[in-house]
Every structure is written in C-alpha cells, then in structure tokens.
Amino acid sequence: MTSTLDATAQPHGGTPRTLEAAELAAVRADFPLLARTLRGGRPLVYLDSGATSQKPDVVLDAEQDFYVQRNAAVHRGAHQLAEEATEAFEDARSRVASFVGVSPGELVWTSNATAAINLVAYAMSNATLGRGGADARRFALAPGDEIVVTEAEHHANLVPWQELAARTGATLRWVGVDDDGRLRADELDTVVTSRTRVVAVTHASNVTGAITPVARFVARAREVGALTVLDACQSVPHLPVDLPALGVDFAAFSGHKMLGPTGVGALYGRRELLEAMPPVTTGGSMVEVVTMDRTTYAPPPQRFEAGTQMVSQAVGMGAAASYLAELGMDAVAAHEAHLTRLLLDAVASVPGVRVIGPTDAHDRLATVSFVVDGVHAHDVGQVLDDAGVAVRVGHHCAQPLHRRFGVAATARASAAVYTTDEEVAVFREALAGVRTFFGLEDGRSA
C-alpha cells in the first residue's frame, strides 16, 4: 500500500491487481447513496468525486458508533468513556498516518485541507514575528525571500501563500503549465532560486488531473534549502501515497475527498519541523503550563490542535483510510487508471469537445475537465444532470489555471474507486446529446 509515487515511478504501469467485477459490485454496495435515484427515477451517475466523494457504510457506522458508544471529551478526564474516546481518536490518527506512510506524531488534525495549508502559512507568519524563538527562525520570511507555487494550484494552495507574502514582504513566484496541462518542471531551475524559502505544489491537479513530478520539485527545493508543501487532496484518495518517500516537508489532505466525512483534514509535517514550529490557533488543549502572563506549549501534534477537536469525523476519516487500505491502493489506482482511459476515450469520441489537460492517460488521474464548443459549462452540466450524470461545472477553485487556457469555466467528470464502466458509458451518451440539444451541428460552433 505504500509504494513510492513520483514521475519516475509508474503508478499505472506494470500489471497491478485491479478490482474484479464482483469486487467492484461489492464496493458499490458499501455506498448506500449510490443506489438512490434522481428526478424522473433516473439512476445516479456520480462523476463529481473530485469535489467530494461518497461515503461507505463503515465510515457512517464509525461516526455513529462513536456517538452511540464512546462519546466523551478526549485527552482529559479519568473515566472509562474518556479513555475509550481518546483511544478511538488516536487510533484514527494512527490509521490515517500509516495510510500515507508517516508516524502518528507527524499528523495534525485540521478542519480541512485548506486549514492545514493555512496552518503552515500562519506558523511561518508567527515565526517571522519572532514567535517560537530561535528554533522557529528557519520559518521566518523577510523581504527578498521568495515563495514558489504553480499556475495549476487550487485556490487553497495559492491564496494562503499570496497572503503570507503580503504579510512578510516576501515575493510570490510560480511555475507555469504547458499546453497539455502539465507543470513546467523545466522552469524549476529558474523560478526556484537561492532566495526561495517555500515551494508549494499540488500532487495532482483538480482540473487537469495531471500528476506532478514531485521528485523534481523536492530535489530542486532541497538544492536551495527551501521547504516543500504538498497539496495531496487529489492524490491520497486515488493513488498509493508514501509521503516520506516523496520527501516533502509538509502535506495537506482532506477527509471528505477520500471517502471520509467533511469537517476533518490532516496536515503532515516532518517531526523535527513540527517541533520547531510555533502554534497558530491557541487556547485549550494545546498547552503545557499556563500562568497569567505566559504559556508553554504542548509538543506536536497537540500544539496545533487547540480547542475541542472534530472527534467523530476524525474517527470516520480513520475508518475511510482503513477501508481504502483494505481494498489496496494499488488496486484502486489500477481501477481508476482504467477509468481514466475510458473517460478520455468517451470525451474524445464526441465531436466539438476539447479536454483541458493531458489527453494521454499516463501520470494522470481519472479527472477529466473539458469544454464543449459553443455551449457554456453550466449548460453542459444541466443537460448531463438531466441524464442523471453529476459533474462539476465552473472554475473548480482554480481561476488562474482556467485563465491560462483562455476559458472561464469547464465541466469536469471525476471518478473514484466506486465508478463503473457503465457509468462512463451513460456519461458519454449524455455528452453526445449536448450540442444537438442546443441546436449545434457537429463540428460547428454557435
């Protein structure tokens, strides 16, 4: 489950085990929502897992079970319930940590991935103000320092760095995207310089589906002594991810995209970095000794978990990690690689439809964004919805990437472990009807 993934490894190559038909049917039976119907009794074809995934019974049950059997305040109280609640909470941390190859002490619960990235950015801000003392000086920024992001980032891995630059006087720079939707890793040598302090990059684009050659980003960042922050939201649910093998310093991912609940996400940080980092949100549960004029802080991860935590959601996220681990992420990735090819073929088979992102299935997720010539993405989504097909439309929280391709909005079909060949076929047929519905003949625009 913890094979390395980077540009040189081939997660979709070789002949990994995939999900057999019976296994896939069993997986689908685990997701009660997938069985519901929509307006007019149409079956649901859920191709919006890139936005949020559906949840299996084991996740729903884990949350329910926590409240029914174990609910109590964690990390305090000497009673049995408090002990059991704490065990459930920390067991979930262990499950999620081991799912991405890290130790529990390196995994901080956050409310979502956005909060995880902001945590790093605000800790650096606080270090810049002198908080955290000498140990935290490595996180301090000054005018002239540079923060590097990419043009493919979700706003969650762009705006916090814009804000950090504005607060500290550092300069924001970015790596571009090529016409195929791949990151211009060839620009790393010029964009990342001796002044670069942070390199923040997505593991896989939520729009183009392109998988980042993380090893090249990490290698370049290390050459100049910059910290690396990986947005792993789109990779962790779909690929085997071993964060230490990738060599990143920090990584963020969310529960709800990996079959878990909303309201919970995780920040991974290398232990020595978390230990040196000043806190961000302060208050209860994250302290050692508090007097009226000063406070000493708990070691990580508790130092970054102020206030009552989202315990039941964390337990649900732990259950989701175990569910995926049990299926085997190699098998999940192999199944989704197959879906990637089907989705790309489906889109390519319909005249007047153009993919925004790589059209070859290599190093790519089953997340396919496209524009339909002469039809706005909203209208595309509406016609697909009429066939029961749920896709995302809009800019997918990545306006600069859309601007890069000269489009305001795209429609995006994104698969997950429970997606079937038949669903892609329904999507294809509905997509084929879009231009006809709007009175456009094949090959001509409005």
Partner 1 sequence: MSTSMEQLYQQVILDHAKFPHGRGLGAAADAARTGESHQVNPTCGDEVTLQVDVDASGVVRDVRWEGQGCSISQASVSVLHDLVVDHDLASVDDVAETFRALMQSKGAGLGEEAEDKLGDAAAFTGVGRYSARVKCALLGWVALNDALIKAGAARTKEDA
Interaction site with partner 1 (CB under 8 A) = 39-40, 375-379, 382-383, 386, 393-395, 399, 402, 408-409, 433, 437-439, 446
* 230 and 210 Cβ atoms separated by less than 8 Å: no
- Residue position matching structure tokens 């038949």: 422
Q: 91 or 438, CB closer to partner 1?
A: 438
Q: Supply the minimum distance, in Å, between the C-beta of residue 393 and partner 1.
A: 7
Let me know if 2 is exposed, middle or buried by CB neighbors in 10 A (0-12, 13-18, 19+).
Answer: middle
DSSP assigned state of 145: B
Considering Cα of 303, then 309, then 311, then 313, what sign does the dihedral take? negative
Helix H segments across 147-232? 159-168, 188-191, 214-224
Distances from the Cα of 32 to the Cαs of 42, 44, 58, in angstroms?
Answer: 16, 12, 11
* 266 backbone dihedrals φ, ψ, rounded to 5°: -140, 145
* 187 and 163 Cβ atoms separated by less than 8 Å: no
* 366 and 332 Cβ atoms separated by less than 8 Å: no
Angle at 224 between CA 222 and CA 225, to 5 degrees: 60
Among 165, 391, 397, 411, the active-site one is 397
List the end-to-end C-alpha distance of the chain, in Å, as a whole number. 49
Distances from the Cα of 64 to the Cαs of 60, 70, 257, in angstroms?
Answer: 6, 10, 19
Q: 166 or 446, CB closer to partner 1?
A: 446
3-state secondary structure at position 411: strand
Q: 355 or 434, CB closer to partner 1?
A: 434
* 236 and 95 Cβ atoms separated by less than 8 Å: no
Q: Supply the minimum distance, in Å, between the C-beta of residue 394 and partner 1.
A: 4
Q: 59 or 383, CB closer to partner 1?
A: 383
Q: Which of 113, 48, 60 is nearest to 323 (CA)?
A: 60
- Concerning whether 397 is annotated as a catalytic residue, the answer is yes
Distances from the Cα of 334 to the Cαs of 13, 34, 208, in angstroms?
Answer: 9, 21, 19
Catalytic (active-site) positions: 397
